Amino acid sequence: MLKFEIIVSLFATMLISAVVTPFIRKLAFRWGAIDSPNKRRMNKIPMPTLGGLAIFVSYTIATMFLLRSQMPTHQLYGMFAGQVVIIITGVIDDIIVLKPRQKVFGISLAAIIVYFFGNIQMSNVSLPFIGTFSLGWLSLPITLIWILAITNAVNLIDGLDGLATGVAVIALTTMGITGFFFLNVGNVYVSIMIFALVAACLGFLPYNFFPARIYLGDTGSLFIGFMISIFSLNGLKNATFITVIIPVIILGVPITDTIYAILRRMLNKQPIMHADKRHLHHRLMQIGLTHRQTVLVIYGIALIFSFISLLYPISTIWGSILLTIATLIGLELFVESIGLAGKDRQPLLNAIKKVVKENTSKDNH
């Protein structure tokens, strides 16, 4: 009976999100939260943002009311306080546009709140062949860095209709499955919260998928990124190689895009926060894919990462290490093939071509 009630509640959450979104769309126009076309934007007409507010409202109704009996009160309220700070930061940014350091301040404040009041933190680390040790005073800065990195990574991929929302649904679903069956023994409520957010995103996605009628906005991308980061931290209180690598692999798309954006700007001697049009979705469109095709291809890449992540809990430590190496090599080859790091920066591909050329020359002789 309990499982049936949870399923009904999740379905209701999706419906609430679908019903609330049109009202949020009108509110965005009224508040002036509009994304106007410019040379950096993909939209050709003014688009309302604040879509994340619909996801936040439906998710909050789910966790605070529909699924309230499944949640631990202390952690729930601590997380909610952090969520409110993130939403306020996102709403302000969608209306008046905040400077990067102001957004970082908002995310950091939310992270500190969930660290102290939600007890969401990385406390201990277990490394293969080394052992377990306490992070001590490093717990807070490492937790802050984790939350900032994941939140900003999701924020950066929100560049096409339905892209960030769909990738988040894939990542969150994988996290929920992994947590329920492998990691969160005794903490089933974490998986329930994850699926509540999935339901809220699914209710919003039809309005956000190409051609979109409303954007996530920073309200949505910051909120979703923040929630993914703190959900993953629930499995990282006592961090091991497996519990750290799984969320990183699951979030392979936004993390890869962020890492190579930083690398690309450093190689070009540009500020890290400098905006460009060489993100993953930009490069796929520049090589000939349509808007919709680009989004679907990135969904496919996200699914590949998710399937890989599901292999870790059933692998040995050596199997996990080899799986990680193979994933990194495959990822590097893909990144170089589409020029994500920049033009003429293909060290691995060039090395392979050189080896093939040398072997071909030997065979000819």
Known binding residue 155? Answer is yes
Q: What digits encode the pLDDT tens for the residues 43-102?
A: 667 889 999 999 999 999 999 998 888 788 888 899 999 999 999 999 999 999 899 899
* End-to-end Cα distance, the chain: 75
Q: What pLDDT tens digit does each residue of the chain (365 aa) get?
A: 467 888 999 999 999 999 999 999 999 999 999 887 766 666 667 889 999 999 999 999 999 998 888 788 888 899 999 999 999 999 999 999 899 899 999 999 999 999 999 888 887 776 666 667 777 888 899 999 999 999 999 988 888 899 999 999 999 999 888 877 765 545 788 889 999 999 999 999 999 998 899 999 999 999 999 999 999 887 655 556 677 788 889 889 999 988 888 888 887 777 776 667 778 888 898 888 998 999 999 999 999 999 999 998 888 888 988 999 999 999 999 988 888 876 677 788 888 878 877 777 666 65
Q: What is the reported pLDDT for 94?
A: 94
Dihedral sign, Cα of residue 122, residue 64, residue 202, residue 210 = negative
Q: What is the spatial distance between Cα 321 and Cα 335, in angstroms, rounded to a whole number?
A: 21
Query: Position 217: which residue type?
Result: G
Q: Are 143 and 122 in contact (CB under 8 A)?
A: yes
**364 annotated as a binding-site residue:** no
- C-alpha span between 342 and 245 (Å, rounded): 27
d(CA 122, CA 342): 35
| d(C-alpha 137, C-alpha 115), whole Å | 13
Q: What is the DSSP letter of 212?
A: P
pLDDT in tens, 272-316: 766 677 788 888 988 889 989 999 999 999 999 999 999 988 888
Return d(Cα 59, Cα 52) in angstroms, integer: 10
For the chain, the residue count is 365
Threshold 0.85, pTM exceeds: yes
Beta-carbon count within 10 A of 53 CB = 28
Q: Which pLDDT score, from 0 to 100, does residue 1 have?
A: 42
Q: In degrees, to the nearest 5, what angle opens at C-alpha 77 toward C-alphas 84 and 149?
A: 55
What CA–CA distance (Å, rounded) separates 162 from 263? 26
